[in-house]
Amino acid sequence: MFAGIDIGSITAKCVILNESLITSCAVIPTDSNPKLAGITVFEKALDTIGYSRKNIRRIVGTGYGRISLDFFDQTMTELSCQAKGVRYLDPAIEGIIDIGGQDSKAIKLNRDGTILDFTMNDRCAAGTGRFLDVMARALKIDPETFGKYYQASKKPCFINSTCVVFAESEVISLLASGETRVDIAAGLNESIARRVGLLANRIGLDRNIAFVGGVAKNIGLRIALEKFLGTKFVSISQDPQITAALGASLIAREGYRM
């Protein structure tokens, strides 16, 4: 058995593989303790199948919190793990858009699945899960409601600001001027789609793209991004939130065989 653990800023994920398939996976909040989250999500995935750590031959860690744990046999970047996990699910995928809690990435792949080019937004929370969380609080809605509101909106508001602080002020001003939460939420989805879509355009992502990361579960943002890019995303067979952990577990399996 082999394990991949992805400790992100918002959630920690673990995938356990045997020689041929995924046997267990788990997702929990990271909260303020990435080390504890990594340990807990690993134990949760093990408990699901009734195994213990001694049954795991090799463990690979990824995500921003990977440096917080000392029981990994190897650590890898999220970029490498996403590429490995996504191409395992669909060898035809040529590009990846990954929106996580604290950054957004666009990744272009070679024919063999290795990374050809990438770009990322890691200096500002705009276009990330944190941005959506802050905007949800400003609108007094649940983050999952963003997707439903985008589909219901007839006239999304145009959001000028990309900075979280300024965007929050803009949302409050729009509410005060009588704009609906539905149209403001839809406008925020389009604002993120523009920002992330420009990252994808920068490296030439235009077809066979997978949308992954926790934010990929936002159906409204998915639709807005597809509209901006002029292409439909490839549907993958697994939860888009666990693809980096899946890639880490695949790397663990390959490392054991070497």
> Based on the number of CB atoms within 10 Å of its own CB, is 65 exposed (0-12), middle (13-18) or buried (19 or more)?
buried
- Do the beta carbons of residue 171 and residue 184 sit within 8 Å? yes
pLDDT for residue 159 is more than 90 = no
What does the pLDDT look like over 27-76, one tens digit per residue?
A: 999 988 999 999 999 999 999 998 888 889 999 999 988 888 888 999 99
Same domain assignment for residues 80 and 98: no
Same domain assignment for residues 128 and 140: yes
Same domain assignment for residues 151 and 82: no
CA distance 144 to 197: 21
Same domain assignment for residues 20 and 67: yes
Q: What is the CATH number of the domain that holds 175?
A: 3.30.420.40
What does the pLDDT look like over 171-216, one tens digit per residue?
A: 888 988 888 989 998 988 888 888 899 999 999 998 999 999 988 8
In the chain, the amino acid numbered 75 is T
Same domain assignment for residues 114 and 219: yes
Same domain assignment for residues 127 and 105: yes
Same domain assignment for residues 159 and 170: yes
What does the pLDDT look like over 70-104, one tens digit per residue?
A: 889 999 999 999 999 999 999 999 999 999 877 88
* Rounded (10°) CA dihedral 213, 219, 222, 223: 180
Same domain assignment for residues 72 and 11: yes
Range of the structural domain that residue 187 is part of: 92-235
pLDDT for residue 258 is more than 60 = no
Same domain assignment for residues 212 and 124: yes
Domains identified in the chain, total number: 2
Same domain assignment for residues 113 and 220: yes
Instruction: Supply the pTM of this predicted model.
Output: 0.89
Same domain assignment for residues 230 and 147: yes
Same domain assignment for residues 41 and 133: no
Token reading at 146: 């963003």
